[in-house]
Amino acid sequence: QKEVEQNSGPLSVPEGAIASLNCTYSDRVSQSFFWYRQYSGKSPELIMSIYSNGDKEDGRFTAQLNKASQYVSLLIRDSQPSDSATYLCAVALSGGYQKVTFGTGTKLQVIP
């Protein structure tokens, strides 16, 4: 089992819809979770951090964490074509000395 798993996609959603991106992780004691966005040919950009169970909202983005199920998700409301990118889930595993483990990413395509 991979340490951080994501569906590679592509996930296609129409403009204006809600995009739901999911991630599971293997280490039960992980405490820090992140979502990064990476446009093609560019480096990743941090968009959300979440540390506690529940929801965290920032603009059109909502991160959801369920530690019991070892599951973290990212919802993008009112999806725009500019949201088309690969979304990377990252988890700080225990004993990682600030290192995080990245999933392989989910490619999101927002169709105009």
Binding site for other proteins (CB under 8 A): 32, 34, 36, 41-46, 49, 88, 90, 92, 97-100, 102-105
Rounded distance between C-alpha atoms, residue 78 and residue 61, angstroms: 10
CB of 36 to other proteins, least distance (A): 8
Rounded distance between C-alpha atoms, residue 70 and residue 96, angstroms: 18
Cβ proximity to other proteins, 76 vs 93, nearer residue: 93
CB of 41 to other proteins, least distance (A): 8
Q: Token pair of 71, please?
A: 């599951």
